């Protein structure tokens, strides 16, 4: 039987990151997947990034993950969203050339020294004494490993649904993992049903774009990765059209055929990706909904109809599509469909991504009740890293809510046990002014470097950037300008207000209308810096007050995180807690008072009760020591 | 640490009412009562239905202690969500204490102040704001403050705070929706609308905070000082007030006997009169307090009862005191007023144009009602209507609201500077957190739920 340090099941977005992290950290790694042609497949929308998701991609990059680098090599359209809403929520988003995204990822996996990629169907998790020992496949092969990362996406007991047709499958054109689901249950893992759906794809040759609004990509050169400077790629536009009264009519008069009415799909679906049927039923007063028509790749005719998600019978899908201006003649290439699948409710998940019931088993991605490529990749990376750290008896990597969106994501999962597939939103991050996509490298690359996931060269680049920022900030704080006639005239030319007394350059730069380069007109020896450094400096000077406010909030947050809850608390004995709180705390077993306070169902009064308990517990422990 | 034992206490304030109630709560409440209660009809309290009343006697060694009605309420539909028994007896303090002793001897524990409420709260029966209202209720001294506490208990405060909370959540949800779903067709806030919405929340917080001063007055009382030059009738005024309105709290136990607070109840407002020792012993001591001492009280008290003897005319000393009282709430008591001194009133109005003036011919006999009305009017004046208003009476609530107020005014200034929307959310969120401290909610999913409830989002 062949032995590995780490076996990863499923080469989706989570699995690829997990396997790469493990291999790059020096562990022998096996990546098993149903179909090698489907590695890093994007079964739904062709885009990566956007608000919060783009932040995650940059964090993955700063930690030494692959997603950002891979999309930089394969986008067909890239733009920065939200530029008017504040630097914290600027969001980079790319449309992918799906086939290239996959082939670039396969190339990377194949090139990785410690990594074996094999096509096989895992049917069984080998477990002894609630500890994982390896996996078994459909062909009868077994592989031994002390750590297994499970990232099977929507495959567990997956069922594909179109209209009243329902068949077994992990997604369109792929097996479901049925045996594996049974094996997990045998190991004591509880499963819960979820669902998600995807819109139909149509043939570009049957579309009339003349009445649609065009969305070209950015003219400015943009990329996700902080590290490898990539050449700009040729871009393809997206298009926008709208549904109308006719669309509404088609859906309303056939609503009995919608899964909403038939109830054929089981489990909760994501609110942020509602089907067009659901949108029309929920918001009947809205007669027009946007449809984004997006390319699936550079060399394919397939177009993705973003906004027309539905799993109604295919002939109705045709009617719905053809009611939309520009799509009157459109031909479906692949119909939209829904998939229902089993996921692992996350009260069984530790912050390290390890399962609480089976030691050595890590789970990541859609299987953890999340949705989205970026969310999956982030979890995969963390699961891979922590599997290796645990193998080496090293401290786990747990990112705090104040460190990264990835920290927020995992903390939410562990505490909240999502009732629908979880998606990252910027509004979930309470310290988002500090967790910007532009500073992910400054926040996280030291961790990536220490883990061996970033090269010396890459890390040095960030160090240099950091030093340049500090030095330049110092220069700006220490150098003043005096209100001479010339200075006042220059300021006036720059449409900036007057100046009465000498002020530091930092104070001048804080004026909203001025940018770093403008200072060149006021002083002779302004340090020359790269645009990304000027950007950091502008943010820091202009929003200093707000940044400091958030830092104070973080201090408060950290204080509560430091109050550790003993591992052996018997919550059922703590009668000062309300019953609901007792149950929730027992199920989730938070490590700190801070974490406890984020569990829904634990009230501020319960937290006070826990604080009192902690005090007495400490005293008891002290007393025992004395004895 | 509390365990689920059975607790008992006298539930009515000692000596205040005709009947007294003893309340017992906990798993043994019924069994314990059964040991000391002898029903008229032969029955066993352990077997009676919930929410039934039983007439009988409390007995000690076969001696009847009092004639009582016993109310049996079984968990979970009770105030504490535990078994509760209430013994209604006629007896005054002595009998009440006697019965309580009997109950305690049977194994109940004397409840700590507010412990019933604590249990109700811990058992999930009431929320934090309500629990604090009960604490106020326990401490409140007069009916008016009782009403505020009752209103809060019935969720009056929770309603108002929730209203503010909903405004904040709706604002945040809108801003966040445009940030998290930039390509969905959500209308961005028009700048003026945004400013107006911020103002609305600000106003609501201000209004609620404005009541906190009154909440405090109703709970803790108004500090009043009687001032005036010697021999104008201060002590007879005080004695008259005290005689009429039985003092409800007497001296503050403590280190010094120098200061006594007489608390009198005027239309439900506890009015504390700061006084020196031995007023009642040495009738005229208060009269010995000269202008200097009066001035000292003038600065301390919230309400000034300034006594002038009109028959002497308005003296320079009177004028000085009046000027010192200019920015206080003042009632001028014009003693020995008759027609020929009518002119003097003008002089008072010159210095204290806003002051209420109560005329008395002989304080001990006349004018007390008018004086009380004047005091009540002062306290109840302004836009606040004590009967209907929800008030903030807990210091913790007040502090939380003050923080929310500060946060919202930061939001406003961010808006005024024209900074991008994201910056508005920082302080809005902080305001929401402050308000949540009152209601006990967590921020969590609320905003996100609201986003999806309000907007058609997602592709
Ligand atoms: C129909 C559909 C609609 C979706 N809609 C949305 C949406 O609207 N918005 C959104 O954000 N996301 C959507 N997604 C989700 C998005 O595709 C996933 O979130 C993301 O791909 C999850 O990544 P993952 O790595 O967890 O799983 P996947 O990318 O699904 O990868 C799982 C991998 O595991 C392999 N595998 C499964 N079982 C086994 C086994 N037994 N042995 C070996 N290999 C196995 C599979 O072949 C696959 O390669 C949708 C997905 C589908 C299928």
pLDDT score of B9: 83
| Four-residue CA torsion sign, A615, A621, A624, A625 | negative
Nearest CA to ligand 1 atom 9: A372
pLDDT score of A124: 97
| Cα B67 to averaged position of ligand 1 atoms, centre (Å) | 76
Structural domain harbouring B322: 228-380
**Would you state the structure tokens that stand for residue B437, as one six-digit string?**
């401290």
Query: By the 8 A CB rule, do A571 and A577 touch?
Result: yes
Q: Say whether both B280 and B343 belong to one domain.
A: yes
Domain boundary among B101, B127, B153: B127
Q: How confident is the model at residue B90 (pLDDT cuts 50, 70, 90)?
A: confident
pLDDT digits (tens, 9 = 90+) for A520-549: 999 999 999 999 999 999 999 999 999 999
Q: By three-state DSSP, how is residue B152 classified?
A: helix
Are the beta carbons of A580 and B448 separated by less than 8 Å? no
Q: Say whether both A321 and A242 belong to one domain.
A: yes
Averaged pLDDT, B381-400: 52
Is A14 annotated as belonging to a binding site?
yes
Q: Is the pLDDT of residue B2 over 50?
A: no
- Is the residue at B446 inside a domain? no
* CB proximity list for A75: less than 8 A, separation 6 or greater: A48, A94, A95, A96, A97, A233, A235
Closest partner residue to B426 among A307, A309, A550, by Cβ?
A: A550
Tokens 């067009």 appear where? A276
CA angle (A313 as vertex; A312, A318 as ends), nearest 5: 90
Nearest CA to ligand 1 atom 50: A44
CA B132 – CA B138 distance, rounded (Å) = 10
Tokens 């009230």 appear where? A603
Q: Say whether both A207 and A328 belong to one domain.
A: yes
Tokens 């792929």 appear where? A174
* Cis check: omega of the bond before A11, within 30 degrees of 0: no
Cite the annotated binding site of B for Mg(2+) by residue number: 235, 256
Nearest CA to ligand 1 atom 11: A372
Closest partner residue to A425 among B124, B423, B448, by Cβ?
A: B448
pLDDT score of A148: 98
Q: Say whether both A477 and A598 belong to one domain.
A: no
| Cα A481 to averaged position of ligand 1 atoms, centre (Å) | 58
Q: How confident is the model at residue B78 (pLDDT cuts 50, 70, 90)?
A: confident
**Would you state the structure tokens that stand for residue A437, as one six-digit string?**
């996509």
Are the beta carbons of A576 and B1 separated by less than 8 Å? yes
Query: By the 8 A CB rule, do A376 and A397 touch?
Result: no
Are the beta carbons of A270 and B4 separated by less than 8 Å? no
Q: Which of B81, B2, B25, B61 is nearest to B33 (CA)?
A: B25
Q: Say whether both B276 and B366 belong to one domain.
A: yes
Question: A82 vs chain B: nearest CA distance in angstroms?
Answer: 6
Are the beta carbons of B443 and A430 separated by less than 8 Å? yes
pLDDT digits (tens, 9 = 90+) for A337-368: 999 999 999 999 999 999 999 999 999 999 99
**Would you state the structure tokens that stand for residue A626, as one six-digit string?**
């004395």
Tokens 């008017």 appear where? A84
pLDDT digits (tens, 9 = 90+) for B353-376: 888 888 876 545 677 778 877 877
> What's the length of chain A?
627
Are the beta carbons of A427 and B440 separated by less than 8 Å? no
**Would you state the structure tokens that stand for residue B386, as one six-digit string?**
């004590």
CA A24 – CA A17 distance, rounded (Å) = 10
Q: Say whether both B246 and B353 belong to one domain.
A: yes
Question: B457 vs chain A: nearest CA distance in angstroms?
Answer: 6
pLDDT score of B14: 46
Domain boundary among A339, A370, A389: A339
Are the beta carbons of B180 and A52 separated by less than 8 Å? yes
| Pocket-testing residue among A47, A153, A197, ligand 1, by greatest number of atoms within 8 A of Cβ | A153
To the nearest 10°, report the CA torsion of A499, A505, A509, A511.
-20
Q: Say whether both B261 and B295 belong to one domain.
A: yes
Q: Which of A158, A155, A120, A117 is nearest to A137 (CA)?
A: A120
pLDDT score of B330: 85
Task: Identify which has the larger pLDDT, B363 or B62.
Answer: B62
Q: Is the pLDDT of residue B276 over 90?
A: no
Q: Say whether both A279 and A322 belong to one domain.
A: yes
Q: At what angle do helices A544-562 and A531-542 cross, to 10 degrees?
A: 80
Least confident of A381-390, A543-552, A604-613, B113-122: B113-122
Averaged pLDDT, B106-130: 71
Averaged pLDDT, A449-458: 98
Q: Say whether both B257 and B372 belong to one domain.
A: yes
Query: By the 8 A CB rule, do A14 and A151 touch?
Result: yes
Note the Cα A77 to chain centre separation in Å. 20
Using CA coordinates, name the residue in chain A closest to B441. Answer: A603
Count other C-beta atoms under 10 Å from residue A522's C-beta. 20
Q: Residues A521-529: contacts with CB within 8 Å, 24+ apart?
A: A521/A490, A521/A493, A521/A494, A522/A481, A522/A487, A522/A490, A522/A491, A523/A479, A523/A481, A527/A468, A527/A471, A527/A472, A527/A475, A529/A468, A529/A472
Is A271 annotated as belonging to a binding site?
yes
CA A365 – CA A362 distance, rounded (Å) = 11
Number of domains in chain A: 3
* CB proximity list for A168: less than 8 A, separation 6 or greater: A158, A159, A160, A175, A176, A178
Pocket around ligand 1: residues whose beta carbon is below 6 Å from it?
Answer: A 9-15, 32-35, 38, 43-44, 121-122, 151-155, 170-171, 174, 177, 180, 196-198, 273, 339, 365-366, 371-373, 376
Percentage above 90 pLDDT, chain A? 84
Q: How many A-B residue pairs are in contact by the CB < 8 A criterion? A: 124
Are the beta carbons of B422 and A428 separated by less than 8 Å? no
Domain boundary among B127, B156, B175: B127
Q: Say whether both A267 and A333 belong to one domain.
A: yes
Query: By the 8 A CB rule, do A55 and A199 touch?
Result: no
Question: A25 vs chain B: nearest CA distance in angstroms?
Answer: 35
Q: Which of B324, B369, B315, B378 is nearest to B347 (CA)?
A: B315
Q: Say whether both B170 and B232 belong to one domain.
A: no
To the nearest 10°, report the CA torsion of B92, B95, B99, B105.
130
Q: Which residues of B touch A560 (CB under 8 A)?
A: none
Q: Which residues of B touch A91 (CB under 8 A)?
A: 182
**Would you state the structure tokens that stand for residue B288, as one six-digit string?**
């010995």
- Measured between alpha carbons, how far is residue A394 from residues A97, A390, A391, A398, A404 in Å? 39, 6, 8, 12, 21
Query: Mean pLDDT in chain A?
Result: 93
pLDDT score of A309: 95
Q: Say whether both A601 and A472 belong to one domain.
A: no
| Cα A154 to averaged position of ligand 1 atoms, centre (Å) | 5
| Cα A112 to averaged position of ligand 1 atoms, centre (Å) | 23
**E strand map for A395-530:** 480-481, 503-504
Q: Say whether both A498 and A593 belong to one domain.
A: no
Q: Say whether both B206 and B118 belong to one domain.
A: no
- Is the residue at A599 inside a domain? yes
Q: Is the pLDDT of residue B278 over 70?
A: no
Q: Which residues of B touch A84 (CB under 8 A)?
A: 420
Structural domain harbouring A475: 466-549
Q: What is the DSSP letter of B258?
A: S
- CATH value at residue B77: 3.30.1360.120
Q: Is the pLDDT of residue A59 over 60?
A: yes
Q: Say whether both B270 and B334 belong to one domain.
A: yes
Q: How many helices (H) and strands (E) does chain B have?
A: 16, 13
Q: Say whether both A542 and A616 belong to one domain.
A: no
Nearest CA to ligand 1 atom 30: A153
pLDDT score of B101: 86
pLDDT digits (tens, 9 = 90+) for A387-422: 999 999 999 999 999 999 999 999 999 998 888 999
How much of chain B is helix, strand and coil, in % rounded to 5?
50, 20, 35
Question: A275 vs chain B: nearest CA distance in angstroms?
Answer: 8
Q: Say whether both A239 and A282 belong to one domain.
A: yes
Q: Is the pLDDT of residue A9 over 90?
A: yes
* CB proximity list for B353: less than 8 A, separation 6 or greater: none
Query: Mean pLDDT in chain B?
Result: 73
Is A15 annotated as belonging to a binding site?
yes
- Is the residue at B219 inside a domain? no
Q: Is A579 on the interface with B (CB under 8 A)?
A: yes
Q: Which residues of A touch B444 (CB under 8 A)?
A: 416, 598, 600
- CATH value at residue B401: 1.20.120.430
CA A115 – CA A149 distance, rounded (Å) = 14
Q: Say whether both B146 and B104 belong to one domain.
A: no
Query: By the 8 A CB rule, do B374 and B358 touch?
Result: yes
Nearest CA to ligand 1 atom 43: A33
- CATH value at residue A543: 1.10.10.1800
Query: By the 8 A CB rule, do B379 and B145 touch?
Result: no
Query: Which DSSP string do the residues of A85-127 spell out, in sequence order?
Result: S-GGG-EEEEEE-HHHHHHHHHHHHHH-TTEEEEE--EEEEEE
Count other C-beta atoms under 10 Å from residue A411's C-beta. 19
pLDDT score of B114: 66
pLDDT score of A509: 95
Q: Does the pTM of the predicted model rise above 0.80?
A: no
Q: Say whether both B232 and B354 belong to one domain.
A: yes
- Is the residue at A271 inside a domain? yes
Q: By three-state DSSP, how is residue B209 classified?
A: helix
Note the ipTM here.
0.87
Q: Which residues of A touch B76 (CB under 8 A)?
A: none
* CB proximity list for A268: less than 8 A, separation 6 or greater: A193, A194, A195, A419, A420, A421
Is A283 annotated as belonging to a binding site?
yes
**Would you state the structure tokens that stand for residue A1, as one six-digit string?**
């039987």
CA-based R_g, chain B, Å: 29
| Cα A63 to averaged position of ligand 1 atoms, centre (Å) | 23
pLDDT digits (tens, 9 = 90+) for B119-178: 776 666 665 556 555 555 555 444 445 555 545 545 567 778 889 999 999 999 999 999
Using CA coordinates, name the residue in chain A closest to B436. Answer: A604
Query: By the 8 A CB rule, do B352 and B325 touch?
Result: yes
- Is the residue at B457 inside a domain? no
Q: Is the pLDDT of residue B94 over 80?
A: no
Q: Say whether both B238 and B356 belong to one domain.
A: yes
> What's the length of chain B?
459
pLDDT score of A539: 96
Note the Cα A393 to chain centre separation in Å. 27
| Cα B59 to averaged position of ligand 1 atoms, centre (Å) | 76
Residue A7 has phi, psi (to 5 degrees) of: -110, 130
Query: By the 8 A CB rule, do A197 and A341 touch?
Result: no
Q: Which of B394, B412, B404 is nearest to B436 (CA)?
A: B404
| Cα A551 to averaged position of ligand 1 atoms, centre (Å) | 37
| Four-residue CA torsion sign, A393, A399, A405, A411 | positive
B contact test, residue of A56, A81, A85 with most B CBs within 10 A: A85
Are the beta carbons of A604 and B176 separated by less than 8 Å? no
Q: Is B284 left (phi over 0), alpha (psi -120 to 50) or beta?
A: alpha
Q: Is A417 left (phi over 0), alpha (psi -120 to 50) or beta?
A: left
- CATH value at residue B371: 3.40.50.300
Q: How confident is the model at residue A439 (pLDDT cuts 50, 70, 90)?
A: very high
Domain boundary among B70, B92, B127: B127
Closest partner residue to B448 among A91, A427, A430, by Cβ?
A: A427
Query: By the 8 A CB rule, do A341 and A158 touch?
Result: yes
Number of domains in chain B: 3
Domain boundary among A339, A374, A409: A339
Which neighbouring-strand residues pair with B63? B60
CA A57 – CA A459 distance, rounded (Å) = 18
Nearest CA to ligand 1 atom 29: A12
pLDDT score of B318: 84
pLDDT score of B115: 73
Question: B258 vs chain A: nearest CA distance in angstroms?
Answer: 40
pLDDT score of B337: 63
- Measured between alpha carbons, how far is residue A214 from residues A77, A238, A239, A300, A303 in Å? 12, 6, 5, 19, 14
Percentage above 70 pLDDT, chain A? 97
Q: Say whether both B270 and B159 belong to one domain.
A: no
Tokens 């002898």 appear where? B38
pLDDT digits (tens, 9 = 90+) for B331-343: 888 877 665 666 6
Q: How many helices (H) and strands (E) does chain A have?
A: 20, 24
Using CA coordinates, name the residue in chain B closest to A199. Answer: B459
Q: Is A419 on the interface with B (CB under 8 A)?
A: no
- CATH value at residue A596: 1.10.150.570
CA B373 – CA B392 distance, rounded (Å) = 25
| CA-based max dimension of chain B | 88
Which neighbouring-strand residues pair with A117? A31
CA angle (B186 as vertex; B185, B188 as ends), nearest 5: 125
pLDDT score of B384: 28
- Is the residue at B448 inside a domain? no
Residue A323 has phi, psi (to 5 degrees) of: -80, -10
Domain boundary among A524, A549, A574: A549
């Amino acid at each position: 039987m062949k032995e590995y340090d780490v076996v990863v099941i499923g080469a989706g977005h989570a699995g690829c990151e997990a396997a790469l992290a493990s291999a790059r950290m020096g562990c022998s790694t096996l990546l098993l997947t149903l179909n090698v042609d489907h590695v890093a497949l994007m079964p739904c929308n062709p885009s990566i990034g956007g608000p919060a998701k783009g932040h995650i991609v940059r964090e993955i990059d700063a930690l030494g993950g692959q997603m950002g680098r891979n999309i930089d090599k394969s986008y067909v359209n890239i733009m920065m969203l939200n530029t008017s809403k504040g630097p914290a929520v600027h969001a980079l988003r790319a449309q992918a050339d799906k086939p290239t995204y996959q082939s670039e990822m396969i190339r990377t996996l194949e090139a990785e020294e410690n990594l074996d990629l094999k096509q096989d169907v895992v049917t069984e998790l080998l477990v002894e004494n609630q500890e994982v020992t390896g996996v078994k496949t459909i062909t009868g092969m077994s592989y031994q490993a002390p750590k297994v990362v499970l990232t099977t996406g929507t495959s567990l007991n997956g069922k594909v649904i179109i209209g009243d047709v329902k068949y077994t499958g992990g997604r369109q054109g792929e097996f479901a993992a049925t045996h594996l689901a049974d094996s997990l249950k045998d190991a004591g893992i509880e499963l819960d049903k979820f669902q998600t759906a995807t819109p139909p794809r149509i043939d570009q040759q049957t579309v009339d774009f003349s009445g649609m609004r065009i969305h070209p990509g950015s003219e400015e050169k943009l990329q996700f990765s902080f590290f490898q400077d990539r050449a700009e790629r040729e871009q393809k536009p997206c298009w926008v059209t709208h549904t109308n009264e006719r669309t509404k009519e088609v859906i309303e008069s056939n609503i009995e055929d919608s899964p909403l009415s038939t109830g054929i799909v089981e489990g909760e679906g994501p609110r942020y990706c509602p089907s067009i049927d659901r949108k029309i039923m929920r918001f009947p007063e809205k007669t027009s909904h946007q449809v984004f028509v997006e390319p699936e790749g550079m060399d394919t005719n397939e177009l993705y109809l973003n906004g027309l998600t539905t799993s109604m019978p295919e002939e109705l899908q045709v009617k719905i599509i053809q009611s939309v201006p520009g799509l009157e003649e459109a031909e479906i290439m692949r119909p939209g469909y829904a998939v229902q699948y089993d996921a692992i409710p996350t009260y069984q998940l530790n912050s390290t991504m390890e399962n609480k019931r089976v030691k050595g088993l890590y789970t990541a991605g859609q299987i953890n009740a999340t949705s989205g490529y970026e969310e999956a990749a982030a979890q995969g990376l963390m699961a891979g890293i922590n599997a290796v750290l645990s193998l080496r008896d090293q401290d786990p990597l747990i990112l705090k809510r104040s460190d990264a969106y990835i920290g927020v994501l995992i903390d939410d999962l562990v505490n909240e046990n999502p009732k629908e597939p979880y998606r990252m939103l910027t509004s979930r991050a309470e310290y988002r002014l500090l967790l910007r996509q532009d500073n992910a490298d400054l926040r996280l690359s030291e961790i990536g470097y220490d883990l061996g996931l970033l090269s010396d060269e890459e890390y040095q680049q960030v160090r240099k950037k950091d030093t340049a920022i500090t030095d330049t900030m110092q220069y700006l704080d220490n150098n003043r300008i005096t209100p001479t006639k010339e200075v006042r005239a220059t300021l006036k030319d720059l449409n900036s207000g007057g100046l009465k007394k000498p002020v530091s350059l930092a104070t001048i730069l804080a004026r909203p209308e001025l940018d770093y380069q403008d200072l060149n007109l006021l002083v002779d020896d302004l340090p020359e810096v790269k645009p990304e450094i000027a950007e950091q400096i502008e943010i820091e000077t202009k929003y200093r007050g707000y940044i400091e406010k958030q830092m104070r909030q973080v201090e408060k947050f950290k204080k509560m995180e430091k109050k550790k809850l003993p591992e052996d608390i018997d919550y059922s004995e703590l009668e000062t807690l309300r019953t609901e709180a007792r149950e929730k705390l027992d199920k989730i077993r938070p490590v700190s008072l801070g974490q406890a306070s984020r569990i829904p169902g634990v009230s501020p009064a319960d937290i006070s009760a826990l604080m009192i308990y902690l005090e007495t517990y400490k005293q008891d422990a002290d007393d025992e020591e004395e004895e | 640490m509390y365990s689920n034992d059975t607790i008992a206490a006298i539930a009515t304030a000692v000596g205040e009412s005709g009947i007294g109630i003893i309340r017992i709560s906990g798993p043994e409440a019924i069994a314990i009562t059964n040991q000391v209660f002898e029903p008229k009809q032969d029955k066993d309290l352990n077997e009676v239905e919930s929410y039934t009343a039983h007439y009988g006697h409390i007995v000690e060694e076969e001696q009847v202690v009092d004639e009582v009605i016993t109310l049996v309420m079984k968990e979970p539909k009770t105030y504490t969500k535990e078994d509760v028994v209430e013994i209604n007896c006629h007896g005054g303090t002595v009998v009440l204490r006697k019965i309580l002793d009997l109950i305690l001897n049977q194994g109940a524990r004397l409840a700590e102040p507010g412990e019933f409420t604590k249990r109700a709260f811990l058992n999930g029966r009431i929320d934090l704001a309500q629990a604090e209202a009960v604490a106020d209720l326990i401490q409140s001294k007069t009916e008016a403050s009782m009403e505020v506490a009752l209103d809060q208990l019935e969720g009056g405060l929770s309603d108002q705070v929730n209203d503010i909370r909903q405004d904040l959540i709706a604002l945040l949800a809108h801003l966040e929706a445009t940030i998290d779903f930039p390509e969905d067709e959500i209308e961005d806030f028009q700048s003026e609308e945004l400013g107006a919405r911020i103002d609305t929340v600000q106003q609501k917080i201000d209004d609620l905070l404005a009541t906190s001063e009154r909440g405090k007055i109703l709970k803790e009382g108004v500090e009043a000082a009687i001032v005036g030059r010697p021999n104008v009738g201060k002590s007879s005024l005080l004695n008259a007030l005290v005689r009429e309105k039985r003092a409800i709290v007497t001296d503050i136990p403590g280190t010094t006997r120098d200061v006594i607070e007489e608390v009198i109840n005027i239309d439900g407002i506890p009015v504390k009169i700061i006084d020196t020792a031995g007023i009642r012993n040495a009738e005229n001591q208060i009269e010995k307090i000269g202008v200097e001492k009066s001035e000292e009280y003038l600065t301390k008290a919230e309400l000034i009862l300034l006594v002038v003897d009109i028959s002497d005319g308005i003296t320079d000393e009177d004028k000085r005191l009046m000027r010192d009282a200019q920015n206080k709430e003042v009632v001028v008591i014009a003693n020995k007023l008759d027609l020929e001194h009518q002119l003097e009133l003008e002089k008072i109005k010159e210095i204290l144009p806003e002051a209420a003036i109560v005329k008395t011919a002989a304080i001990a006999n006349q004018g007390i009602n008018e004086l009380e009305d004047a005091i009540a009017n002062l306290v109840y004046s302004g836009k606040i209507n004590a009967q209907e208003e929800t008030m903030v009476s807990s210091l913790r609530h007040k502090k939380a609201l003050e923080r929310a107020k500060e946060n919202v005014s930061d939001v406003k200034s961010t808006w005024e500077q024209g900074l991008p929307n994201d910056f508005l959310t920082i302080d809005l969120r902080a305001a929401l957190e402050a308000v949540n401290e009152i209601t006990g909610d967590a921020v969590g999913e609320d905003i996100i739920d609201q986003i999806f409830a309000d907007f058609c989002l997602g592709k």
